[in-house]
């Protein structure tokens, strides 16, 4: 499957946005983990804005950056949201309430506990009625989510906003599903020509791509398996990126930057 990458969004410790993180991603600057600042999504009505959690704010921030980067109207994009944990803080508070004698679930928390909460808030924020799907995938959330997003682009010839995000679960569940930090990324994938061509293929096996100095970050959050791809995009180079899957098989990404006639990367 081949599609174009028209926009990118990113947020993680020491990675404060796609444009602001390029030097760290290329290795020109060192990586210094710093807390991720997550503002309430300004595009939401005040009542909804107050209800957003870390996971939703993270997803909406990277989705908005990628959409803006693409120049396409955000409400015109179909969406694929992928996350291993979903909104772990909300699910955790419901589990706590259920385990407390007489504990009551808040109705708002219940509707925020669905795995497609971030997608729902995105639709409200940008006023979109485009089709949207939300996927789980444990440690395969990034490769399987990206594969489904590319499949939608290739099969139906529509632009798709792919958003992959994860935040830590609440205690005590966090001890059984280690997620060190928040990390989110988004891509706008398009069926037509774009500065960067992305291929997504299934393979029997592949060597796992390395994130170099960002390896610890990649190991601590399933969405951060996007880092080798993001590093490749930031460097403007071609690459093949292997993403082995939990139960065998692999997804292999190919990146082909826009090459000038002399073979060097084009528009920087």
Partner 1 sequence: MRYSGQMPSMLPPLAMTAFTATSAMGTGLEATRAALHARRGGLAPCDLPGMPEGIWVGRVPGLEEVVLPEALARYDCRNHRLAELGLRQDGFEQAVAEAAARHGATRVAVVMGTSTSGIAETELAYAGRDADGALPPGFDFAHTHDLYALPRYVRARLGLRGPAIAISTACTSGARSFLEAQSMIAAGLCDAVVVGGVDTLCRMTLHGFNSLELLSRAACRPCAADRDGISIGEAAGFALLVRAEDAPGGGVALLGAGASADGHHMSSPHPEGLGAVAAMRAALDAAGGGPVDYINLHGTGTRANDAMEGHAVRALFGDRVPCSSTKGWTGHTLGASGALEAVIAAICVADGLVPGCLGVETPDPGFGVDVAVENRQAPVRRVLSNSFGFGGSNCALVIGQA
Among 43, 54, 72, 105, binds partner 1 (CB under 8 A): 105
CA–CA gap between residue 89 and residue 67 (Å, rounded) = 26
Would you count residue 19 as binding partner 1 (CB under 8 A)? no
Which span sits near partner 1 by CB under 8 A: 20-28, 122-130, 181-189, 233-241? 122-130
Closest to 63 in 3D by CA, of 114, 121, 103: 121
132 forms part of the interface with partner 1 (CB under 8 A): yes
Binding mask 170-199 for partner 1 (x = CB under 8 A): -xxx-xxx----------------------
One of 68, 72, 158, 238 touching partner 1 (CB under 8 A)? 158
Smaller CB separation from partner 1, 26 or 109:
109
The answer to whether 154 contacts partner 1 (rule: CB under 8 A) is: yes
The per-residue DSSP string of 18-83 comes to: TGGGHHHHHTSS-----PPP----TTS-HHHHHH--HHHHHHHHHHHHHHHHHTS-GGG-EEEEE-
Of 6-14, 133-141, 210-218, 252-260, the segment contacting partner 1 by CB under 8 A is 133-141
Rounded CA separation 59/229 (Å): 18
The token pair at 81 is: 């949201």
Minimum gap (Å) between residue 33 Cβ and partner 1 = 26
């Amino acid at each position: 499957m081949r599609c174009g990458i028209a926009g990118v969004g990113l947020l993680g410790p020491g990675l404060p946005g796609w444009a602001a993180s390029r030097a760290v991603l290329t290795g020109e600057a060192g990586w210094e983990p710093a807390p991720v600042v997550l503002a309430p999504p300004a595009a939401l009505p005040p009542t909804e804005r107050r209800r957003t959690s870390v996971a939703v704010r993270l997803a909406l921030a990277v989705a908005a950056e990628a959409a803006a980067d693409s120049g396409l109207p955000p409400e015109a994009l179909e969406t694929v949201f992928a996350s291993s944990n979903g909104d772990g803080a909300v699910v955790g508070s419901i589990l706590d309430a259920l385990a407390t004698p007489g504990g009551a679930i808040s109705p708002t928390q219940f509707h925020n506990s669905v795995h497609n909460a971030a997608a729902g808030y995105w639709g409200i924020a940008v006023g979109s009625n485009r089709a949207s799907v939300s996927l789980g995938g444990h440690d395969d959330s990034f490769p399987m989510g990206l594969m489904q997003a590319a499949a939608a682009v290739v099969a139906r010839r529509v632009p798709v906003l792919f958003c992959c995000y994860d935040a830590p679960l609440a205690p005590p569940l966090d001890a059984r599903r280690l997620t060190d930090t928040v990390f989110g990324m988004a891509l706008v994938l398009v069926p037509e020509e774009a500065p960067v061509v992305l291929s997504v293929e299934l393979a029997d096996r592949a060597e796992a791509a390395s994130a170099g100095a960002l390896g610890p970050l990649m190991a601590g959050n399933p969405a951060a398996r996007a880092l080798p791809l993001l590093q490749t995009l930031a460097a403007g180079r071609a690459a093949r990126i292997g993403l082995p899957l939990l139960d065998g098989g692999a997804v292999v990404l190919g990146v082909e930057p826009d090459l000038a006639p002399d073979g060097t990367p084009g528009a920087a």
